[in-house]
Amino acid sequence: MDLLHGILANRIMWVALLAWLIAQCCKLIFYFLVEKRLDFSSLKSSGGFPSSHTAIVCALAGQIGKEAGWSSPIFAVSVVLAVIVMYDAANVRWAAGEQARAINHLLDMLLESNASTQWFGQEIPNEKLKEIMGHTPFEVFGGAILGIVVAALF
């Protein structure tokens, strides 16, 4: 029972998860405002505004700083983790999305130019790669602000 009580009483974890949930719900709202239709798949998707990856690690770092102290080693670890996640979201995952877009374009060209579904004896894949994997710097910045605000409020 102590384990369950400990998990339920862990404010740091719950504040971070709340920031993630709010970020995912914001994606649904912003998608509706732009596209004029609800798409509940945006609740579980990566990419988009604001970055939920960034929101969760910034809320985590902020709450750790509040509870453990701004000069604590665990706050330092959480900030470094947040920087790695934000860099990954805005650079590495964004580049992977750009590569997926290029590969999808090449596959489209290959399928259009060739009546066969075979290329060098291999089946040409008909399934598109996911292109939106990362975030723009603005989306990462929005996630950081959201995470910091959520940690500050709770």
Q: Over the stretch 92-101, which tens digit does the pLDDT of each residue have?
A: 777 777 888 8
Burial track 96-128 (b if 16+ CB lie within 10 A, e otherwise): bbeebeeebeebeeeeeeeeeeeeeeeeeeeee
- State residue 15's pLDDT score: 98
In the prediction, which pLDDT does 116 show? 63
**Mean pLDDT value across residues 137-154:** 96
- Do the beta carbons of residue 56 and residue 23 sit within 8 Å? yes
Residue 52 to residue 94: CA distance in whole angstroms: 15
- Could you read off the pLDDT of 63-94 as tens digits, one per residue? 999 999 999 999 999 999 999 999 988 887 77
Average pLDDT of the residues in 47-76: 96
Domain boundaries, the chain: 2-153
Per-residue pLDDT, 115: 60
C-alpha closest to that of 93 among 39, 147, 150, 46: 46
Q: How does pLDDT run across 30-44, given as a tens digit for each residue?
A: 888 888 888 777 677
More confident residue, 34 or 132: 34
Query: What pLDDT is recorded for position 146?
Result: 98
Say which range, 12-26, 73-87, 106-120, 132-146, has the weakest mean pLDDT. 106-120
